Amino acid sequence: MRLMISGGGTGGHIYPALALIEALKAHDPQAEVLYVGTHRGLESRIVPERGIAFKTIKIQGFKRSLSLQNFKTVWLFLKSVGTARKYIKAFKPDVVVGTGGYVSGAVVFAASQMHIPTVIHEQNSVVGVTNKFLSHFVDKIGISFESARDQFPAKKVVMTGNPRAQQVVNIKKTAALKALGLEDDQPTVLIFGGSRGAARINQATVEAIPELNRRDYQTLFVTGQVHYDKIMDGLGKTALAPNVKIKPYIKNMPAILPEIDTILGRAGATSIAEITALGIPSILVPSPYVTNDHQTKNAQSLVDEGAADLIKEADLTGQSLVKAVDGLMLDATGRQKMAANAKRLGMPDAADRLLNVLKAAMQAH
């Protein structure tokens, strides 16, 4: 198979694409892949590091208010469609896949106009602008949440789950906590606001540290690189007990997840995929700063199934954080029940499911 794939801007669009590529290579080592992204997005660093052929186009998103920049956006979109057509003619893909972000809009739209089989994948419960636009042109649509189904043309939709789940589901314990200065045989909560950290989560955790110091369970608090120095300075004379460790960043976060008993963090699509694939109890604090409040809807889909707890960011304090964490970490039976519910929602074959959607789109042509 010759696969052209496009997704950019955030890890939530990039990592599912990489998971799909990995699954394709596992099934067909001779498969050829070309990834099309932007020169400024995370993909420009992450994708070439994986040894995947990478091309770029220049594009930007629409402003939500009236703006002269939107005229430039239209011009860049039309220009980027032309660039994408050149890449398609040169690469001759069997199928073109978009995993979200403005860059995938130009690439997948160009392919659809050239009568190449096309597929998009939506990671969130609320459909993004790009995928909503592309849904009218593509052959098939993969979704990760049932709540996204009725936002698309029904006959095109297939529930696949998030391909990221298949990447993490078989990760084994590797004594990763020991390497971070914690015990590998003690219940551990991970508090993590994403790769760049989350100010409100960080603030509440700092307030909670005097209480967390006194608990029998362990706390691993990952602040995000840009917040670390300020947080450590802010702790002042507050000493950390041996059961509490603060780190700025963990390069290979999935490697520690099998040793984590509870996660407190955001409700992005990648996090949800990992949590459900591994069956980890979670306390989700959705970001209120994302489009259409989709993280709250992501989180609610787990809460409704008894697979997570939810705290609104506005309600998050040191006191409410400790109460929520104690509620799970001091209740082994409750954690086990939530873990089972989370795992039931996981889709460990999500990448293979999406591969089957690609094949169906090709056969339809």
List the binding residues: 10-12, 124, 195, 250, 295
Cα separation of 175 and 269, whole Å? Answer: 27
Residues 78/59, Cβ–Cβ less than 8 Å? no
The DSSP bridge partners found for residue 32 are 2
- How far from 296 is each of 131, 291, 354, CA to CA, in Å? 19, 11, 25
What's the rounded Cα separation, in Å, for the pair 86 and 83?
5
Are 253 and 271 a contacting pair, CB within 8 Å? Answer: no
210-229 burial: b if 16+ Cβ within 10 Å, else e:
ebbeebebbbbbbbbeebbe
Q: Which residues, listed in sequence order, are joined to residue 243 by a DSSP beta bridge?
A: none
> What is the per-residue DSSP string for 89-109?
HHH--SEEEE-SSHHHHHHHH
d(CA 246, CA 244): 7
> CA distances (Å), 70 to each of 34, 64, 66, 80, 186, in order?
29, 9, 8, 15, 54
Name the packing angle between helices 11-27 and 350-364 (round to 10°).
Answer: 80
Q: Which residues are annotated as a binding site for UDP-N-acetyl-alpha-D-glucosamine?
A: 10-12, 124, 195, 250, 295
Helix axes 332-345, 318-329, angle to 10 degrees: 90
